[in-house]
């Protein structure tokens, strides 16, 4: 029976002496366990991020068929974690995992790196932070050094799983066999969460009846995700007398800014800031029932799960032309893009869209069809199939 070892970049949390996992992550592990069919081991570190308000599952050792190895904060995975392992599926976004492919190569363990961030995105995120300029320069140098280490590690990898087109295009030819590279799109939405034809047709009927255009944004309320641009976007739409309503969901360091600016600009009749809500029971039903176009002001090219999760609601995306968004639009006609940080162009495109609602309806239908090929279940099946392919190709 083959043994799969997963070494992720995400961590776990401790609260009142209890361990907690992200629900999406843990659900993914359950699918790995079922689809792999053999033993599954997970080597994981304690998270440095704040404990989320929603989407957690408590770890109960006796109830879990998965073997967890809880690494020390600065501990690097090594040969002692690979005992009996046939395939190691390792995050290349976590710098402490870099170099493991060389160890796997020496001990004849198949190593597949999975990755979602490219160097450009890492640098973009760094310069969007509130750190001092000197600190940003220092961090950039460190990022460049880690990128050199990442690329040298990929040379020894037997396979690659890239989340989103930016990472796939950047790294597929860095591994030994480019045929062992898999492109996938991250999503929490299972088959049963896809919008039904009946609900989609009902929403599109309202759209084509020229009702108020319903817009939405969900995600981290930070500058990196473009949450600060939403207010200016709404102010210009109001000034141009566009009949719209924007619903904003999420949590972040711009919460107070958003609430204050909505009041200051007298946007309360046009913009509603809901804050953080439960994803499956509240956000997904709301998007499916009410939203015509999703506004995505992401200023960097990380492959946010927002894209596929929005498409699974039958909603097309109007957003900045970062590499992640542009990469999807090259594959599927499921939205529109405008130049980065160009709020005025974003507004102009929205006005154009509003006057051609048949196009919105067409892209809505294409969005759900694209999402059907990239559900939570299909994505994990493809990733397990890739693991098996690598084992077969490199025996």
**CA-CA distance, 114 to 182, in Å (whole number)?**
9
**Residues 73 and 23 reside in one and the same domain:** yes
**Residues 241 and 155 reside in one and the same domain:** no
- Angstrom CA distances, 126 to 59, 97, 133, 139, 273, stand at 33, 21, 10, 7, 27
**Residues 265 and 338 reside in one and the same domain:** yes
Q: What is the pLDDT of residue 395?
A: 54
**CA-CA distance, 249 to 271, in Å (whole number)?**
11
* CA-based nearest residue to 160, from 168, 148, 151: 168
**Residues 157 and 275 reside in one and the same domain:** no
**Residues 171 and 233 reside in one and the same domain:** no
Structural domain tally of the chain? 2
**Residues 41 and 181 reside in one and the same domain:** yes
**Residues 259 and 274 reside in one and the same domain:** yes
**Residues 148 and 131 reside in one and the same domain:** yes
**Residues 17 and 134 reside in one and the same domain:** yes
**Residues 303 and 331 reside in one and the same domain:** yes
Q: What is the pLDDT of residue 394?
A: 54
Report the chain (395 residues): mean pLDDT per 10 consecutive residues: 92 92 88 92 91 85 89 89 95 96 95 97 91 96 98 97 97 93 94 97 97 97 92 97 98 95 96 95 97 96 93 98 97 97 97 98 98 94 96 71
Radius of gyration of the chain from its Cα atoms, rounded to whole angstroms: 22
Lookup: tokens for 122: 């890492």
Q: What is the pLDDT of residue 375?
A: 95
**Residues 212 and 355 reside in one and the same domain:** yes
Q: At residue 229, what are phi and psi to the nearest 5 degrees?
A: -75, -20
The CATH number of whichever domain residue 332 belongs to comes to 3.40.50.2000
Enclosing domain of residue 148: 3-187+376-393
Handedness of CA 247, 361, 328, 372 (dihedral sign): positive
**Residues 28 and 10 reside in one and the same domain:** yes
């Amino acid at each position: 029976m083959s043994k799969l070892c997963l070494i992720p970049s995400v961590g776990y949390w401790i609260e009142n002496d209890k361990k907690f996992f992200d629900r999406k992550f843990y659900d993914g592990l359950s699918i790995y366990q079922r689809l792999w069919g053999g033993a599954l081991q997970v080597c994981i570190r304690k998270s440095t991020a704040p404990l989320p308000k929603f989407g957690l599952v408590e770890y109960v050792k006796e109830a879990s068929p998965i073997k967890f190895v809880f690494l020390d904060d600065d501990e690097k995975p090594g040969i002692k974690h690979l005992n009996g392992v046939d395939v190691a599926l390792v995050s290349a976004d976590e710098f402490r995992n870099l170099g493991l492919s060389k160890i796997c190569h020496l001990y004849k363990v198949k190593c597949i790196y999975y990755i979602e961030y490219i160097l450009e995105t890492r640098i973009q995120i760094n310069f969007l932070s509130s750190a001092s300029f000197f600190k940003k320069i220092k961090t950039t140098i460190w990022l460049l050094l880690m990128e050199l280490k990442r690329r040298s590690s990929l040379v020894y990898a037997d396979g690659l799983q890239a989340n989103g087109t930016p990472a796939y295009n950047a790294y597929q030819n860095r591994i030994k066999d480019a045929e062992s590279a898999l492109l996938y799109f991250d999503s929490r939405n299972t088959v049963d969460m896809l919008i039904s034809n009946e609900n989609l047709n009902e929403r599109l009927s309202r759209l084509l009846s020229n009702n108020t255009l319903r817009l939405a944004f969900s995600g981290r309320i930070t500058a990196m995700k473009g949450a600060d641009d939403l207010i200016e976007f709404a102010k210009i739409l109001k000034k141009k007398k566009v009949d719209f309503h924007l619903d904003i969901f999420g949590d972040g360091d711009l919460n107070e800014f958003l609430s204050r600016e909505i009041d200051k600009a007298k946007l309360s009749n046009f913009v509603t800031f809901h804050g953080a809500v439960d994803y499956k029971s509240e956000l997904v039903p709301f998007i499916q029932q009410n939203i015509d176009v999703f506004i995505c002001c992401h200023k960097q090219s990380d492959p946010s799960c927002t894209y596929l999760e929005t498409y699974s609601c039958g909603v097309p995306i109007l957003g900045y032309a970062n590499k992640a968004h542009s990469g999807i639009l090259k594959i599927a006609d499921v939205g529109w893009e405008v130049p980065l940080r160009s709020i005025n162009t974003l507004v102009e495109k929205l006005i154009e869209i509003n006057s051609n609602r048949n196009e919105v309806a067409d892209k809505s239908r294409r969005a759900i069809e694209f999402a059907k090929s990239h559900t939570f279940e299909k994505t994990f099946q493809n990733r397990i199939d890739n693991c098996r392919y690598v084992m077969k190709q490199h025996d």
